[in-house]
Homo-oligomer: A and B are copies of this chain.
Amino acid sequence: MIEIINTLQDFKNKRERLSGSIGLVPTMGNLHEGHLSLLKESLKENDQTILTIFVNPKQFLQGEDLDKYPRTFEQDIEKIKSCMHEDDHVIVFHPTNDHEIYGTSFNTTIKVESMNNVLCAKFRPGHFDGVTTVVYRIFSLCRPTISYFGQKDYQQYQIIKKMRDDLLLETKLKMMPITRDENGLALSSRNRYLDHDQREEAQILPQTLKEIESILKRGKVEDALSKAIEIKSKYSAWQYLEILDSKNLEPLSDTTKEVVIAGAFIVGSTRLIDNRLVLLNHAE
């Protein structure tokens, strides 16, 4: 069964009547296989799944692609249905305007201070505050047992986890692996902005991360760090290319067990991000 709800009040009423475990998949719509992997996991693990579709203005900066961000509701519903089995129960919360998620006079910001001046945060100041604020609001409305996020937005996941811990929120969190196309490009709603040549160029991003991963896997941390600096400096399309401690997004230290190799890469006017997680082999 799939139910579509468009208003805050209807959603609140619906939520009151739900019992059992609730999986939450918060999205901005334009669903692709990455989103669907979260949905499938939630369907497998929970009595019901709430999938939210809301293009959240608070997380777009002035000049970003809020207006042209793809809205494809009809196709999204078809894709959701294609993942469902007979007994599955999905509630799609698709607020028709900002008030149907925030209420009429919402004016509060939730800001995680840590991990909020590196990687994407450096280039999109305020972006993650918009994310944490809307995710807080969605968590409060949905009161999920467990919420699913994609690894592609790794920094987002870590910041949301910090918010969850600091604000004593009750949901469990689960991060699902990146879904890639046949060329290794991480799936993203923004990939549709790319033309044929740009899609080719975009492969530099996953290929580079993989190259650095293989240096790291050979235990050559210093080599990987200097390789990243070298690659980034050679090509202005790189907004960042960094190797950080995956736990706190700080530079590597003696206590680092796992690293994240994270890159942001501009193709035309499209900004792409990707990352890989690598366990350090301290034995070597």
Interface residues of A (CB under 8 A from B): 102-103, 105-114, 132, 136-137, 140-141, 162-163, 165-168
Contacts and interface: CB of A to CB of B under 8 A. Distances in A.
B165 A103 contact: yes
A107 B103 contact: no
Q: Main SS of chain A's interface residues?
A: mixed
A167 B113 contact: no
29 contacts: A102-B166, A103-B165, A103-B166, A105-B114, A106-B166, A107-B112, A107-B113, A107-B114, A107-B162, A107-B166, A108-B110, A108-B111, A108-B113, A108-B162, A108-B166, A108-B167, A109-B109, A109-B110, A109-B111, A109-B113, A110-B110, A110-B111, A110-B167, A111-B111, A137-B167, A137-B168, A140-B167, A140-B168, A141-B168
Contacts of A110: 108-111, 167
A165 B137 CA distance: 11
Contacts of A141: 168
Count chain B CB atoms within 10 A of each CB in A108, A109, A140, A165 and give the residue with the most. A108
Contacts of A136: 167
Contacts of A137: 167-168
A105 B163 CA distance: 11
A186 to B, nearest CB: 28
Given A105-B114, A108-B166, A140-B168, 8 more contacts: A106-B166, A107-B166, A108-B132, A108-B163, A111-B111, A137-B168, A140-B167, A141-B168
Nearest to A168: B140
A102 B103 CA distance: 29
Count chain B CB atoms within 10 A of each CB in A109, A113, A132, A163 and give the residue with the most. A109
Contacts of A108: 110-113, 132, 162-163, 166-167
A97 B166 CA distance: 17
Contacts of A140: 167-168
Contacts of A167: 108, 110, 136-137, 140
A105 to B, nearest CB: 8
Contacts of A163: 108
Count chain B CB atoms within 10 A of each CB in A105, A162, A166 and give the residue with the most. A166
A162 B106 CA distance: 8
A120 B195 CA distance: 54
A163 B165 CA distance: 19
A167 B137 CA distance: 7
A33 to B, nearest CB: 33
Nearest to A112: B108
